[in-house]
């Protein structure tokens, strides 16, 4: 199974300027690769008439459209924040990924229908040797592109690049399937062309599901992985003067991480000292997440503080049993 969601690590936190260069370079490489593959596969399909080559060509056409939309979305997503979009435009990447999922789903359904038709009415494929050579070359080109995209994704965690990478990973398996189909057809197994077309169509549909699922999670502001949230809580609780924290909320968009939480401090300390502690917490978070937007709300250690708690990790944020029971009685159950 190809991993779609990677937890953020220090290696993936790159400055926004490097993020821009890497994702745009990967976007241009994707479009250029798709155009090259279309030209090669179109020539082979014209002479061979292979249904499996048509499946591969159709996928490359969709790849080109999706990659071009990706590139436009990336350019928009990298536009600096303005007065109407004060959190930036990075969710355009998730919209691009969702658009890709729709494109891929449509093409896969067409391929499945065409494959079933070819299974019922097998046809002899011409120029099989040339088709095998071109498909193998396409496979090598796609492997090079995916390797570069994987490098960019490791450095940036770009949603759009990951969607593009995922569906070019599918292309690698698709091209392997095409080669297998052509070899079988060469030995007079005419049914192989239609069968592999159907199988590849279902595989592409499966990849579209994963791409769409990841994009929707971003658009719905899905929290960072629990393990990463736990590290973040430990980081904040390690600041001298922070008694506990609650209502930690995290999300990511492009290279930016949005973090907000409530920290509980001694209610008798001066405001200047409380502000200093909050600033220390922000600076510690910035080291781990350089391009982060942080909001920390300071609260005194009193019973009233815990009345409106939404999220609390009992293990990481110890409070007195009386207060914790008070919260559980009020909300039924605290989300950890």
Q: Which residue has 């990511």 as its token pair?
A: 252
- C-alpha dihedral sign at 3, 93, 35, 122: positive
pLDDT of residue 334: 45
Query: Which residue, among 1, 12, 56, has the nearest Cα to 34 in the 3D structure?
Result: 56
- pLDDT band at residue 296, thresholds of 50, 70 and 90? very high
**201, β-bridge pairs:** none
More confident residue, 133 or 66: 133
Q: State yes or no: pLDDT of 335 exceeds 70.
A: no
- pLDDT band at residue 309, thresholds of 50, 70 and 90? confident
Residue 192's CB is within 10 A of a number of other CB atoms, namely 23
Report the DSSP pairing between strands 292-300 and 244-253.
Answer: unpaired
Query: Which residue, among 300, 235, 293, 296, has the nearest Cα to 271 in the 3D structure?
Result: 300
**Is the distance from CB of 208 to CB of 108 less than 8 angstroms?**
yes
Helix (H) or strand (E) holding 265: strand 256-265
Residue 10 Cα to chain centre, angstroms: 17
**293, β-bridge pairs:** 258
List pLDDT tens digits, range 225-243.
888 888 888 888 889 998 8
**Is the distance from CB of 299 to CB of 264 less than 8 angstroms?**
yes
CA distances from 99 to 95, 103, 136 (A): 6, 6, 29
| Mean of pLDDT over the chain | 76
At 197, give phi and psi (nearest 5°): -65, -45
pLDDT of residue 7: 37
List pLDDT tens digits, range 216-225.
877 888 888 8
Q: State yes or no: pLDDT of 276 exceeds 90.
A: yes
Query: Which residue, among 110, 134, 121, has the nearest Cα to 45 in the 3D structure?
Result: 134
- pLDDT band at residue 288, thresholds of 50, 70 and 90? confident
b/e 250-270 (16+ beta carbons within 10 angstroms → b): bbbbbbbbbbebbbbbeeeee
Residue 248 Cα to chain centre, angstroms: 22
Q: State yes or no: pLDDT of 17 exceeds 60.
A: no
List pLDDT tens digits, range 77-111.
777 777 777 677 777 777 877 877 887 787 778 77
- The model's pTM is 0.57
Question: Which range, 54-63, 152-161, 228-237, 270-279, is most confident?
Answer: 270-279
CA angle 328, 315, 240 (to 5 degrees): 115
């Amino acid at each position: 199974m190809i991993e779609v969601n990677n937890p953020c690590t220090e290696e993936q936190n790159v400055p926004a300027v490097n993020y821009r260069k890497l994702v745009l370079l990967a976007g241009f490489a994707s479009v250029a690769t798709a155009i090259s593959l279309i030209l090669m596969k179109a020539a082979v399909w014209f002479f061979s008439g292979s249904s499996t080559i048509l499946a591969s060509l159709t996928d490359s056409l969709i790849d080109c459209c999706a990659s071009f939309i990706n590139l436009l979305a990336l350019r928009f997503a990298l536009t600096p924040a303005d007065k109407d979009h004060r959190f930036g435009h990075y969710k355009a990447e998730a919209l691009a990924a969702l658009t890709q999922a729709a494109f891929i789903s449509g093409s896969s359904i067409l391929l499945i229908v065409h494959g079933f038709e070819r299974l019922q009415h097998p046809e002899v494929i011409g120029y099989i040797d040339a088709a095998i050579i071109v498909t193998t070359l396409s496979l090598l080109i796609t492997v090079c592109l995916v390797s570069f995209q994987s490098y960019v994704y490791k450095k940036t965690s770009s949603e759009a690049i990951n969607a593009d990478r995922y569906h070019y990973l599918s292309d690698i398996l698709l091209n392997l399937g095409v080669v297998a189909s052509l070899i079988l057809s060469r030995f007079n197994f005419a049914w192989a062309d239609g069968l592999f077309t159907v199988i590849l169509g279902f595989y592409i549909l499966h990849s579209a599901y994963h791409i769409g699922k990841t994009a929707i999670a971003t658009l719905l502001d899905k929290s960072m992985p629990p393990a990463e949230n736990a590290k973040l809580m430990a980081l904040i609780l390690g600041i001298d003067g922070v008694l506990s924290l609650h209502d930690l909320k995290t999300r990511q968009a492009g290279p930016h991480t949005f973090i907000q939480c409530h920290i509980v401090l001694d209610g008798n300390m001066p405001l200047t000292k409380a502000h200093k502690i909050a600033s220390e917490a922000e600076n510690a978070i910035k080291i781990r997440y350089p391009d982060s937007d942080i909001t920390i709300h300071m609260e005194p250690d009193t019973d009233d503080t815990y009345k409106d708690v939404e999220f609390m990790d009992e293990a990481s944020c110890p409070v007195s049993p009386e207060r914790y029971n008070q919260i559980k009685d009020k909300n039924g159950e605290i989300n950890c």
